[in-house]
Structure 1
């Protein structure tokens, strides 16, 4: 049941499915399941949007991870401008050898 909750196209049907699961989870005798249900209930609007719109923050998290790696490998920067330059250099997708440029 839980996996099928992510495949709804309509927000109305998604809400009904999640509320049905929440109803089951709250009646569960497992405290961790009840805690998860409470968290889901608090964030249901965002969960419904994610399920229906099929939008993920995965790409942003990937970029953040790469920026953190730049910071760790450098062991610090003198100022914010140099940090920004390093991010542009490593993540900017620039062609270091453009066609027609003298080598």
Structure 2
């Protein structure tokens, strides 16, 4: 718990059935990349990655941006594998139990 009373990292994470099924069908080396991206999300101080170069600490080949620029607190997209794949997710900012929900996983 942080000083302001909100829970902080590590964040809880849940996957929609569609996202989990998509992850499970990926080749093993790509699943490991998805798992590394998951680790980055659940340990991030701010999973929204707000601000200039806020995602600069992410490993090479990963980048986070808003899914829609008109919704700054809306869904995010995390690109991984140098843009060959992405995960869309939303942070549900509950005081007691905030959680990241992964809605889609894609890799090509």
Q: TM bucket by the smaller chain?
A: under 0.3
TM-score for both structures, normalised by structure 1: 0.26
Say which structure is richer in helix: 1
Relative contact order higher in (CA < 8 Å, ≥ 6 apart):
2
TM-score for both structures, normalised by structure 2: 0.25
